[in-house]
Amino acid sequence: MHLPRFSAAPEDATPVQKRNFLNVQVDAVGIGLASGAGPFLPVFLARLGATNFQVGLLTAMPAFTGLFFAIVVGRFLQRRRQIVPWFSGARLLVVSSYALTGIAPFLVPREWAVQAVLLIWALATIPQTVVNVAFSVVMNAVAGPKGRYDLMSRRWSILGLTTSITVATVGQILDRISFPLNYQVVFMALSLGGLISYYFSSHIALPDTDLPAPTPGLSLGQRFNGFINQIRGERAFVSFIGKRFVFLFGSSLATPLFPLFYVREIHASDAWIGIINTTQSAIMLLASRTKSSGLPSMLGLRASFRPV
């Protein structure tokens, strides 16, 4: 099978590695399409009459689930010889939540629509945590020690470009169909991007991983202390996480405020909301490519439910 040169794999890569690089990039197109629905999810809740707390809850739920279950999920995945099926399957579940969001208003009374949507996305936080943990592991295994910057910079660029175009288009479509049917149609249509993502991500071929040796006889406290000491030993990692925490702390506080401001304060149309989000994504995309063609962008940090 002939593989296009834009697979971005190193010249000495094997055919399997080149195919993996290509699968990762096409997968980004599918996720970019699905992610086009992300900026409009809190807007949809706001237009349904959700309270400020409910809109904020949409942003907070993934963080709470990750806080309590990330370590458990990590230990579970660490004992799997093949992580790709869990990664691609979990992400398909997350993206499918957009389709369920579109279907929900058909099945429940209008006064219960907000609670139904929040319940859908509360359940989605579990596979989202699996995706968050598995993503770096899968991408690192695909790229290897030499191709990380090249692979990830291309992937984030493809994802950002696809999402920017999709969001702008979605905003125009939403303005031309009556509410709430417009959001239902868009959410169900964009969830098809998850099928594209699932097909290509599930075809990533990685060798079986060696399972860690069991450590019998250690108490829960001893295991926890060993985990903490292991983190402390990686000073560069701790420094990076600390700086990232400061950045995310500030940006996350503002995340639920934007849709509320757009809908309740300036009464922005969906078309303008799409343009605003597209402009933001485009600026971040251009900035990341200008700074360095070898560094991944920060586009993935913008939406709580972005399925990376």
CATH, residue 132: 1.20.1250
Contacts of 256 (CB under 8 A, 6+ apart): 42, 52, 55, 56, 58, 59
Any domain includes 286: yes
Under the banding of pLDDT at 50, 70 and 90, the label for residue 296 is very low
Any domain includes 8: no
Any domain includes 20: no
What is the C-alpha separation between 74 and 113, in angstroms, rounded? 33
Any domain includes 9: no
**Contact predicate 83/134, CB 8 Å:** yes
Any domain includes 110: yes
Cα-trace Rg, the chain: 20
**pLDDT at site 1:** 45
Under the banding of pLDDT at 50, 70 and 90, the label for residue 214 is low
**pLDDT at site 238:** 86
What is the C-alpha separation between 105 and 108, in angstroms, rounded? 6
Any domain includes 216: no
Average pLDDT, the chain: 84
Alpha carbon distances (Å) from 35 to 15, 167, 186, 232, 252: 30, 8, 12, 35, 18
Any domain includes 167: yes
Range of the domain at 78: 30-206+235-297
Any domain includes 90: yes
Per-residue tokens: 306: 């972005």
Under the banding of pLDDT at 50, 70 and 90, the label for residue 216 is low
**Contact predicate 288/298, CB 8 Å:** yes
Per-residue tokens: 276: 């605003």
pTM: 0.84
What is the C-alpha separation between 88 and 200, in angstroms, rounded? 9
* Structural domains of the chain, count: 1
Q: What is the pLDDT of residues 141-165, one digit of tens each?
A: 888 777 777 788 888 889 989 999 9
